[in-house]
Amino acid sequence: MPEKSGLDLIEIINEMNYDVKLLAVSGGSRKSKCDFLPVAELMGAHDILHKPFTPNELRGKVGALLN
């Protein structure tokens, strides 16, 4: 997302009180070596997934969130 970060999106979703499950996915930052996924969890992401991941890992995370 060129104009907003994933953390910005989590903040917007939280402010709007949407009842959705959030899966944060990241391969890290291009600008720094910081891992933002723990921050995403603190902000309300229900689960996280580090890139690269397999299709089975993605299916498992999404399936768990939908149950």
Q: Is residue 1 part of a domain?
A: no
- How many domains is the chain partitioned into structurally? 1
Domain ranges, residue 22:
6-66
Taking only the tens place, the pLDDT of each residue in 10-55 is 999 999 998 899 999 998 666 667 789 999 999 999 999 999 999 9
pLDDT at 46: 97
Q: Is residue 33 part of a domain?
A: yes
Q: CA–CA separation, 52 vs 36, rounded Å?
A: 15
Q: Is residue 21 part of a domain?
A: yes
Q: Are 49 and 25 in contact (CB under 8 A)?
A: yes
